[in-house]
Amino acid sequence: MPQLRAIVVLVIFLILTLASMPWQFLAVRFKLQQRRTFPNRFHKLLCRLFDIRVTVIGKPIQDRGVLMVANHTSYLDILILSATARVSFIGRRDVSTWPLFGTLTRLQETVYVDREKRARTGEARDIIRDRLHDGDALVLFPEGTSTDGNRVVAFKSALMGATEAEVGTDAAGRPQYVPVQPVSISYVGIHGMPMGREDRPLYAWYGDMELLPHLWEMLAAGPLDVVVEYHAPITVDGVGGRKKISALAETTIRSGLRRALAGGRQVANGPTSDNVSVESAA
């Protein structure tokens, strides 16, 4: 039965994706507002299809440019965050060459980064700054890698330099800076039960795991419960530079992850109409 479920889900996923790609292509090509809203609706649908039940704590910033920084466990993070907010991502340039998935990242207006080439970090930082200035919500995974979902590794702060640029002034003429919103993504349950360490490799994609075999195991594994916590935003002028804002975001996300894994945030009893339930911030 799990294998049959995986086949059915995979077929439906491919049909939905291939049918949706031309619409998103046109929206991006002609700069329609739907290019930002359609991925959110599409990924909510995919959460239902994959039986990923998401509890959202707090509120994502959506009314102005924001750099969201999050811990990274799996390719599912993309789907989950996209289902909870209207976002684009900052990702490695090689992802753009992946079959199908690379096309999907381009259609979601991903900003590609050559992390291994320092000379291009400044160029990517300028692109990120311009996108933030235009009001986009961009997601950065500053760990630079994915983990098993039990911990948060040290953040790399280089790309956060975009937050040091002024994006305007307030009524009093004081400079304004792009907010940074820390986001904790916690994989907390499987089949409605707390997730143990032995279950995490079914969903966490890290190390030298191969993508397609892992995707198949994930599809066959069954219902997943996830807690996404949008923490209070911070700004570089209130903290004092990109390294300090990076360190504070890292500490905040690590605390959110630990709290969720310890059961401090309860998952929803069952899926809502769109598999994403919202809880007010504590």
Tens of pLDDT, residue by residue, the chain (282 residues): 788 989 999 999 999 999 999 999 999 999 999 999 999 999 999 999 999 999 999 999 999 999 999 999 999 999 999 999 999 999 999 999 998 999 999 999 999 998 666 656 778 888 999 999 999 999 999 999 999 999 999 999 888 888 887 877 778 888 889 999 999 999 999 999 999 999 999 999 999 999 999 999 999 998 999 999 999 999 998 888 899 999 999 999 999 999 999 986 544 433 344 677 655 444
* Region for 82 from its dihedrals, namely left if φ exceeds 0, alpha if ψ lies in -120 to 50, beta otherwise: alpha
What is the rounded distance in angstroms from the CA atom of residue 100 to the CA atom of residue 251?
Answer: 35
Show the DSSP H helices in 115-264 as ranges: 121-133, 211-221, 236-239, 242-261
Residue position matching structure tokens 């619409």? 23
What is the rounded distance in angstroms from the CA atom of residue 148 to the CA atom of residue 106?
Answer: 26
Residue position matching structure tokens 């994706």? 17
Total domains in the fold of the chain? 1
Cα dist. 193→138, 144, 188, 226 in Å? Answer: 32, 30, 8, 12
Q: What is the CATH number of the domain that holds 148?
A: 3.40.1130
> What is the reported pTM?
0.92
Q: Which residue segment(s) compose the domain that 130 sits in?
A: 2-279
